Amino acid sequence: MDTRSELQATIKAMVQPGKGLLAADESGPTIAKRFKTIGLESSEENRRAYRNLLLTTPGLGEFVSGVILYEETLGQKADDGTPFPQLAAKNGIVPGIKVDLGKIALALAPGDEITEGLDGLARRFVDYKRQGARFAKWRAVYNITASLPSRLAIEANADSLARYAAISQEAGIVPIVEPEVLMDGEHTIERSAEVTEAVLHAVFHALHRHRVVLEHILLKPSMVIAGSEHAQQSSTADIAAYTVRVLKRTVPSAVPGIVFLSGGQSPEEATANLDAMNRLGALPWNLSFSYGRALQEPPLQAWKGERSHVEQAQQALLKRARLNSAAALGKYEAAQEKS
């Protein structure tokens, strides 16, 4: 299969009505923080056992079309000895891999950050693909204040995202492009919209410059939402309206799918906001989810590291996946009534 056909086959498997992605790509420090909430040590075996719980959930493939893995998880095996990427694929879930190496301060731009990981990325892709990864993810972050992000941060991160996407497509791996405008701060929803629009304009200009094929990417943006410390928190209707307006202004219709990150929202908020967007009428892209904590928080709290709680935790994951699947079709309210 040539590279273009390979990319198209992966996109077709990932972008399906009513299906989204499970983001299980927490870095070492992040998974340690999550485990701390249930009083569990972040050992390699505990991390493996938890990812095993997620990926062996019966019926998950009905609602989830892809899973983003961390490099450690890509090389781990399920309880029965099956490598996790093969286990996911067997259950109809496309395995992917987080490839950025995290964020650092952007030089000479106080308060701004840039993502690392481009050096040696093409070589890493060879190994990731051999292990079974069919798509990748790279996250850029943008802090908001009255003066941030700077134009430098917007353009530098856009260029890194585009370079990553080009390297990914050349390797036959679908890139998920994730520009996250953080919800930390006191900013208004209008300021969030202004920054998100500027960020997405820069990202798509950079993708064009780097000759990235838009039909073979997924966009993973943050929702347009007021800062978490702002006195007036955004309503579901406002989040949906502002987010869709910004997307219509910036995202070409050639992009097959937009999968939102939950970005600090509660599981219920993230689902309701996705549902509201999908009830605004016909849109040129498939709008779905790529949630980490908003899918994982209920099963993690149910599990608490106890083998006897695995089935209960899997039921909690399946419920959130089913409700988000309904939200991706604009049918969340009806699904809630059944749950």
Listed in sequence order, the residues at least 6 apart from 55 whose beta carbon sits closer than 8 Å to its beta carbon are 24, 67, 78, 84, 87, 88, 91, 93
CB 89 within 8 A of CB 61: no
Burial environment of residue 71 by CB neighbours within 10 A (0 to 12, 13 to 18, 19 or more): middle
Our answer to whether residue 220 is catalytic in this structure is yes
Q: Which of 67, 92, 87 is nearest to 77 (CA)?
A: 87
Phi, psi of 68, deg, nearest 5: -95, 120
192: amino acid identity, one letter: S
3-class state of residue 83 by DSSP: strand
- Please state, in angstroms and rounded to a whole number, the distance separating the CA atoms of residues 250 and 195: 12
Our answer to whether residue 178 is catalytic in this structure is yes
Phi, psi of 174, deg, nearest 5: -70, 125
Taking only Cα atoms into account, the Rg of the chain, rounded to an integer number of angstroms, comes to 19
- Please state, in angstroms and rounded to a whole number, the distance separating the CA atoms of residues 58 and 313: 12
CA 255: distance to chain centroid? Answer: 16
Q: Measured between alpha carbons, how far apart are the two ends of the chain, in Å?
A: 43
- Please state, in angstroms and rounded to a whole number, the distance separating the CA atoms of residues 153 and 110: 10
Query: Active site residue: 6, 26, 178, 297, which one?
Result: 178
327: amino acid identity, one letter: A
Phi, psi of 98, deg, nearest 5: -75, 130
Query: Active site residue: 6, 220, 269, 297, which one?
Result: 220
CB 153 within 8 A of CB 202: no
Residues classed as catalytic: 178, 220
